[in-house]
Structure 1
């Protein structure tokens, strides 16, 4: 949307290993159209960038309305909101193909959005500070709870992830993003990995229902901080353009 790559190249990057992506409800079209055409059309309609929304129950993170769009985005738990023109896209995923060769197909529903500040999205500076604090607090608290996700196995998994992320083939964000956005996204991913390891460790050292509940109470706000930071990082390019 910023004009740095062609719609074809953007569509290839978006589709990845999925079978096909189509956009439904695009102004001027009577049915679903291919992603390349849709991106080009949305750009001519005035969309110059996208904000990411990652809403969850009770937390409309990144949304700006109206209610119909918010409801669909909450159901999907993700959406993108256009910058420059009032259009948003909400994905709907399908699985298709024979057993052993199943691919994901995506239909993006194009809907009107309200041009207003997105809900609960911090600045990059705020997100970075919140993440650093959440990582420290979660590590200490999980260690006290004797959760497997805070021990040497978690540290090894995080180090392995960081090695992959720092490799030459990993592009964290598209060209044009500020370096701070890359740092924030990497830290958000690291915090998210810690949370996932803690959840996936089963009961770990938590031997009672109260200890398991305590772990959940600890992880939920940390998870929320990580989601807010991811949205802040992905939206940084648009936010900088909006500031001029």
Structure 2
């Protein structure tokens, strides 16, 4: 599971820019983060790839009024609305951004460049046409928060029952790093998002981390193939809930804006 997907950063800071909370350069810098460079390819009116600052302006001129996130997985087209070509590319990347107000979506292609010991990450966002339709399986923030409370309890029970090695030095170090990041006051979301969205996203990330640790760090007591299969089957619904909550959090700006527009 993507604990902090690039699509979430682009959508959150793109929405903050549209709302007037940040400048184009600041929004672009926040999205790029520790990566070397981000470019956008396939923008209407642009003959080649452009930087994020220019891309944000071009998308706004094309009518984009907000950005949503999609985090699809096999059998779960979370946040997608079609067409099939866009859905397939988003599924391959495990994430995408879908614009509101104009029929465009962005799918990242991530490449590590350079020799070992001096590698850096370059990202090309492919701008593709999307179908203007409600996104698949995205809950409201309230629904996501209730689901997460149950998922956290379920995850704890599953890990205990299967004796999964979500503890020990590696797991403890990962959890400590997560807590340290939170204590440093890291902005979970960009300016302009409701506090509830940040709270839901933090809990979704924590549950996602626990699930990732359970998958990746040692078999614990699950020593047989059937027990390993039971672990995956038990954790998959928890992971699904966490991804739904991530999408609901990142999409809260657009959902709130559209809800206010209907009043």
Which bin holds the TM-score, normalised by the shorter protein?
over 0.9
Equivalences for 1:1-244 in 2 at 5 Å?
A: 1-149=18-166, 158=175, 161-168=178-185, 170-244=186-260
Contact preservation (8 Å) 1:148, 1:204: yes
Distance 1:16 1:154, change over 3 A: closer
| TM-score (structure 1 length as normaliser) | 0.93
Distance 1:207 1:97, change over 3 A: closer
Q: Which runs of 5+ in 1 are unaligned?
A: none
Distance 1:98 1:148 in 2: 34
CA RMSD of aligned residues (A): 1.9
Once the 2 structures are TM-superposed, how far is the Cα of residue 120 of structure 1 from its aligned partner?
A: 0.4
Which of the pair has the greater relative contact order for Cα pairs under 8 Å at 6+ separation?
2
Distance 2:53 2:158 in 1: 47
Distance 2:89 2:160 in 1: 38
Contact preservation (8 Å) 1:139, 1:150: no
Distance 2:127 2:85 in 1: 12
SS at match of 2:166: helix
Distance 2:123 2:178 in 1: 28
Distance 1:60 1:91 in 2: 17
Q: Which runs of 5+ in 2 are unaligned?
A: 1-17
Contact preservation (8 Å) 2:170, 2:217: no
| TM-score (structure 2 length as normaliser) | 0.86
Distance 1:151 1:140, change over 3 A: farther
SS at match of 1:104: strand
Distance 1:94 1:151, change over 3 A: closer
